[in-house]
Amino acid sequence: MRILIDADGCPVVDIAVKIAKGNNIECIILCDTSHIFEKEGATTIIVSKGADSVDFALIKLVDDGDIVITQDYGLAAMCLARKAIPMNQDGMMYDNSNIDALLLTRYTVKKIRNAGGRLKGSPKRVFSQDITFEEKLRQIIIC
């Protein structure tokens, strides 16, 4: 088991690295050249900037049973196909019961935006989301 982090836009990198380090689990941070992370206790892989470049690099690395932290539904779906354990930054687990609906939502939102529509963005992150994420990640590691 390893923890792989899709770090571009990920607010829980420090929490995930701390938990990995405390549990003696390898942690790999993947980012592109516009977001460079260097964290003690983790290996950072920097890929060229480009559409989905981090996603494809991560998929090449992920193995059965690895934990993947991402907010990208498409990447989560690919991780499920590789028998990894994808979760988002709020502690929500992606699985076969929710991934299709999430991908459909992403598609619908993209269609609305492409047609010139505007949607309300995500609310500001609160501390309780970090706590929930940390609890869920610890729970996955223990199981």
Q: 44, 55 in Cβ contact below 8 A? A: no
The single-letter code of the amino acid at 67 is I
Angstrom CA distances, 2 to 20, 24, 119, stand at 8, 10, 36
Beta strands 67-69 and 2-6, pairing class: parallel
Q: Between residues 25 and 123, which one has the greater pLDDT? A: 25
Fold of 2-142: Rossmann fold (3.40.50)
Can you list the alpha helix ranges (DSSP code H) found in the chain? 13-22, 53-61, 73-81, 99-114, 127-142
| Domain spans of the chain, in order of start | 2-142
Residue 95: pLDDT band with limits 50, 70, 90: very high
DSSP element (H, E) containing 46 = strand 43-47
pLDDT digits (tens, 9 = 90+) for 9-67: 789 999 999 999 999 999 999 998 887 778 898 999 999 887 788 999 999 999 999 99
* The pLDDT of residue 21: 96
